[in-house]
Amino acid sequence: MELIGAIYDASTISKILPFVDGIVVYSSDFSSFSMNGLKKDEILEIVKSTTKEVYINLEFMFEDEEETALTSFITTFTPYGNVSFIVSDLGVFQILKEHNKANKTIYNPNTLITNEFDLNFYHMVGAKAAALSLEITLEDQVKILDKKEGKAFMEVFGYHLMFHSKRKLISLYQEFIGSNVEIDNKNSYLIEQTRDDKYHIYESSRGTGLFRPYVTSYFDSLDKLSKLDYAFISNLFISEDEYLIILKIFNDYKKGLISKDEGILFLNKLDLKYEDGFKYQDTIYQKEKVCIR
């Protein structure tokens, strides 16, 4: 299992690299969640500065007219063997495949890969790995990993994306109420009338993302996920100081320097709200049984 972290900006790379096997960098040009986004030249300098794998996040909804610009961006990194890509749109995957980069691409459709057949399909078409859904139980995730033919990626810590739209929902709401307050993505929340939960909401030029109001952690289940190839620890909406502590805990546990119970204790000391999500409770949205007569 490789630990994958993420950087905030170029200045944080030296702090994060010692704890991880690879790093995610968000493209300010193409990632939907570019709060920590970097320009192409900045990413290129990071790629040149390390031998560890650099995963460029290109998770966005692709438009045909962007093909030329995207192709130019992607081919910039062709000379470098330590570059991979994370995508959520099959159109972007196809462009990468056409440039012989499918085996350097992780396909992450967020909620869609819920069985071994889907996971193995993306291995069959040449993807480096595909991302397991967090909308299924831990038991199901383990079963899928037991039957995988290729490699699997999974977010094992962080605020999980639960909704994504191309519409700029915060801007539309501000227009509706006649507000011109500048959007602060780090401190913007959606609060329901019937609940006290605060959902992180993020808007960029590429639309709006809504995240769970709590951190989902699989730290206590890493032993059960032993067949997972890439374990991603997200930094979205987590302070740099807390994030470095989290990375150290995961890394120390992987190296056998701390026990699982010690790691859980250290994580619980952080000012974060944890919930299990669907880890132990299956979704209530089940297909109705079909009765054939």
Residue corresponding to tokens 């397991």: 132
Residue corresponding to tokens 């966005």: 60
CA distance 155 to 129: 13
Of 126, 86, 125, 127, nearest in space to 109 by CA: 86
pLDDT attached to residue 181: 83
pLDDT attached to residue 61: 92
Tell me the pTM: 0.91
pLDDT attached to residue 270: 96
Domains of the chain (ranges plus CATH)?
Answer: 2-159+215-268 (3.20.20.70)
pLDDT attached to residue 285: 54
Q: What is the mean pLDDT of each run of 10 residues along the chain (293 residues)?
A: 94 94 95 85 96 96 94 97 97 96 96 94 96 95 96 97 88 88 83 86 88 94 97 95 98 97 97 89 58 46
pLDDT attached to residue 107: 97
pLDDT attached to residue 291: 47
pLDDT attached to residue 292: 45
pLDDT attached to residue 290: 45
Q: How far is CA 44 from CA 37, 47, 200, in A?
A: 13, 5, 30
